[in-house]
Amino acid sequence: MKTVLRDLLSRPSGAIGLFLVVFHLVLALVSPLIAPHDYRELSALSALQPPGADHWFGNDHLGRDTFSRTLLGGREALLVTGIATPLAVIWGGFLGIFFGLVGGRLDDVLMRVVDAFLSLPWILKMLVLIVTFGTGAGVLIPALAFFYGIPVIRVARAATHDVVARDFVEAARARGHSSMSIIWRELFPNVRDALLVEGAMRWSWMLLAFSSLSFLGFGVSPPTPDWGLMIADARGYMSFAPWGVLAPVIALSSLIIGINLTADALAKALGIDRVQKAPI
Amino acid sequence: MLGLLIRRLALGIVTILLVSVIIFAGVEILPGDACTAFLEREAQGKLLENCRSDLGLNRSATERYFDWASAAIQGDFGVSAGSKKSIATLVGDRLKNTLLLAVCAMAAGIPLALMLGIVSGLWRDKPADLVISTLTIFAMTIPEFVTATLLILVFSVWLGWVPGIVLTSANAPVSEFFPEILLPMTVLALVMIAHILRTVRSSVIETLSSDYAQMATLKGVPYWRMVFRHVLPNALLPTINVIALTIAWLLGGVVVIETVFNYPGLGRMMIDSISDRDLPVTQAIALIISSVYVCVNLLADLLSLVANPRLRTAQLQ
């Protein structure tokens, strides 16, 4: 673990990426304490005010402080994706390892179902659930965890296939270990690295999905500050108040780029080459 | 070889069938049906009865599935719950517009991606590669709506070169979409270029270090001859599958881009149909998009089987 972290930090992409991720996480934790203004505070007089001493990034169309809202704008996204990502990796990973070990007819059927799910665009799957059950963390967390766990099944299954024919798995079978014990003690330690990298990638795709949904008006509901929603709101005033767009754009992009750089460096440090990169 | 092709084809058909079951079952399992969803609060009494008999919702689910699926194969997707118009005609124009956008993005993006990928692979870790690779990370990771917003800000608000929003109506002839199509096309192309470029780059690097490339160098084959004769033909094979995956991504990514630019394509129609709770339209679009996805991937699989004989034996084992 320590050597992996050292390897990660010794690569420029890993150091920059990890810095950005940690920076955003810390900011999400402390931002309610350090935000200079109330994110709900409206003021018609100072609407669309340019950046100044009191309002560093200017004001939005309702006169709310863009700097404070940008500081707070990642909290909901990080909370939802921060819970959904481990859930997705756990259930997808378990199912993938299990079917990689068991194989057979059931495995064939499962893989067809996985293929079928992956052939539907993510936005359609998410929107159908949101329109039916409403939006908010209570719907988004299970929905994201479910849909983003499906590609994890594939990755875990492929990684399991690489080790399942090895002698130590055979030996554990011969010793009479149960499937569960083989999964936990023999297979999981060998698949863990692949799952870690996959989890980092899923996290970044989930953030992309979350902010896109917010941007389209299906995610966070106002007045909660969120980068996707802020960009959508500020777009209409872009020609004379571009700061309203630029602040959340930079915040969101730096977080997603940070995660991707970390995932890339992590994959190199752990010696895993990633193939699947499409945001499904 | 023929057996392998048939097997792949069969798998593709099975996947499309499964998708249709998932789409249909998804709507069945969720609370309410197409009529209660569409009528919302007015869903009671005579109005609900009429709507249900219009859409044929009084029959059993399996019966309706087979009716729906067999009609869909013949290109008949039923009628929209909202406008009562035939979905096939509603979708037709939109599909054409989305394909126009996708084809333009591909025509511009794929050659550029191959070229830049080869350049950054051959000059690995040199300044050109570092610049290309850094830009790739940006293009690949930044959400499409962010890229779109930035491009609109720079090229239509600040510079005023191209329109930032599409005002052409859905059934306008292709020629009227220019120059409005330029920005949405660029956003799509940027993401595509990034994904394809990355694969080409690593594939070129891998092939350069292969035994036969080293052998050619040792034999005294001139560098460029080695690149064109030994490296590129092998390095470009795996890109067929990535291009297919990217096209498949494009069909989902196009939804956000079409909404940002107000482009009258299939993706925006999907969002509209979901917001209006017009389930028959949503089902039809979902089936079309996923069928295109499966077909494109199938085509890529078959193409790489034809182009790369080594895969055939690997697959048979």
Q: Pick A127 or A37 by higher pLDDT.
A: A127
Do the Cβ atoms of A120 and B145 come within 8 Å?
Answer: no
pLDDT, residue A79, reads 92
> For position A54, what pLDDT does the model report?
73
DSSP letter at A253? Answer: H
Tokens of A224: 């909660």
Residue length, chain B? 317
Cβ-contact B20, B287 below 8 angstroms: yes
Q: Does B269 touch chain A (CB under 8 A)?
A: no
Average pLDDT over residues A158-170: 83
Mean pLDDT of chain A: 84
**pLDDT given for residue A88 in this prediction:** 95
Q: What is the pLDDT of residue B317?
A: 42
Kindly determine whether residue B141 and residue A122, on different chains, have CB atoms separated by under 8 Å: no
For B1-7, the CB contacts below 8 A with 24+ separation are B1/B305, B1/B312, B4/B305, B4/B312, B4/B315, B4/B316, B5/B302, B5/B305
Nearest Cα to Cα of residue B242 among A274, A156, A111, A276: A276
Contact B149, A246 (CB under 8 A): no
Q: Could you give all domains of chain A from N- to C-terminal order, each with its CATH number? A: 76-224 (1.10.3720.10)
A69 in Cβ contact with A225 (< 8 Å): yes
Q: Tens digits of per-residue pLDDT, A45-103?
A: 676 677 777 777 777 777 677 888 888 888 889 999 999 999 999 999 999 999 888 88
Find the mean pLDDT for residues B220-226.
86
B271 touches chain A (CB under 8 A): yes
- The predicted model gives A19-23 an average pLDDT of 93
Task: Give backbone dihedrals phi and psi of A62, rounded to 5 degrees, phi first.
Answer: -105, 10
- Cα A11 to Cα A6, A263, A268, B12: the distances in Å are 9, 12, 9, 42
Query: What own/partner pairs with CB < 8 Å and gap ≥ 24 does B1-5 have?
Result: B1/B305, B1/B312, B4/B305, B4/B312, B4/B315, B4/B316, B5/B302, B5/B305
Residues of B in contact with A201 (CB under 8 A): none
Q: Is residue A122 a contact partner of residue A216, using CB atoms and an 8 Å limit? A: no
Q: Which residues 115-134 of chain A have a CB within 8 Å of chain B?
A: 115-117, 119-124, 127-128, 131-132
Non-local CB neighbours of B160 within 8 Å, separated by 6+ positions: none
- Phi/psi region, residue A183 (left: phi>0; alpha: psi -120 to 50; beta: rest), is alpha
CB contact under 8 A, A278 and B249: yes
DSSP label at residue A50: P
Taking phi over 0 as left and psi of -120 to 50 as alpha, with beta for the rest, B166 belongs to: beta
pLDDT value, residue B280? 82
Burial of residue B223 (CB within 10 Å: 0-12, 13-18, 19+) is exposed
**Measured between alpha carbons, how far is A235 from B316 in angstroms, rounded to an integer?**
54
Show Cβ contacts of residue A44 under 8 Å, excluding neighbours closer than 6 positions: A62, A63
Please report which confidence band the pLDDT of residue A274 belongs to, taking 50, 70 and 90 as the band edges.
Answer: low
For residue A126, with 0-12 CB atoms within 10 Å meaning exposed, 13-18 middle and 19 or more buried, which class applies? buried
| B195 interface with A at CB cutoff 8 Å | yes
Segment B73-83, tens digit of pLDDT: 877 777 777 77
pLDDT at position A279 over 50: no
CA distance B286 to B281: 9
Cβ pair A127:B271 closer than 8 A: yes
CB contact under 8 A, A253 and B195: no
3-state secondary structure of B209: coil
Q: CA-CA distance, A104 to A101, in Å (whole number)?
A: 9
Which of B146, B259, B277, B298 should one mutate to test binding to chain A, selecting the residue with the greatest count of A CBs within 10 A? B146
What is the 3-state composition of chain B as percent helix, strand, coil, each rounded to the nearest 5? 80, 0, 20
The SS3 assignment for B80 reads coil
The predicted structure's pLDDT at residue B315: 53
Would you say residue B311 has pLDDT above 80? Answer: no
Best probe of the A interface among B7, B134, B138, B145, by most A CBs < 10 A, is: B145
Q: Distance between CA atoms of A258 and A245, rounded to whole angstroms?
A: 20
Best to test chain A binding among B134, B136, B147, B149 (most A CBs inside 10 Å): B149
How many residue pairs bridge chain A and chain B with CB atoms within 8 Å of each other? 127
Q: How far apart are CA B13 and CA A119, in angstroms?
A: 13
| Span of A37-41, A116-120, A178-182, B237-241 with lowest mean pLDDT | A37-41
Beta strand ranges found along A131-218 (DSSP E): none
CB contact under 8 A, A231 and B145: yes
Tokens 């292709």 identify what position? B174
Domain boundaries, chain B: 2-73, 93-316
Does A204 contact B at CB distance below 8 Å? yes
Cβ pair B255, B270 in contact under 8 A? yes
Output the furthest CA–CA distance in chain A (Å, rounded).
78
Q: Do A119 and B255 touch (CB under 8 A)?
A: no
pLDDT grade, residue A252 (50/70/90)?
very high
Backbone angles phi, psi at B171, to 5 degrees: -100, 20
pLDDT for B256 equals 87
Predicted confidence (pLDDT) per residue in B91-140, tens digit: 888 888 888 888 888 899 999 999 999 999 888 888 888 898 888 888 88
Q: CB-based contact (8 Å) between B31 and chain A?
A: yes
Cα–Cα distance between A247 and A231 in angstroms, integer? Answer: 9
What lies within 8 Å, CB to CB, of B9 at 6+ separation is B298
Q: Quote the CA–CA distance of A29 and A21 in Å, as a whole number.
A: 13
pLDDT at res. B37:
67
Q: Which fold has domain B93-316?
A: MetI-like fold (1.10.3720)
pLDDT one-digit tens code per residue, B149-187:
888 888 888 887 877 777 777 677 777 767 778 888 899
From chain B residues 276-295, the ones with a CB under 8 A of any chain A CB are 277, 282, 285-286, 289-290, 293-294
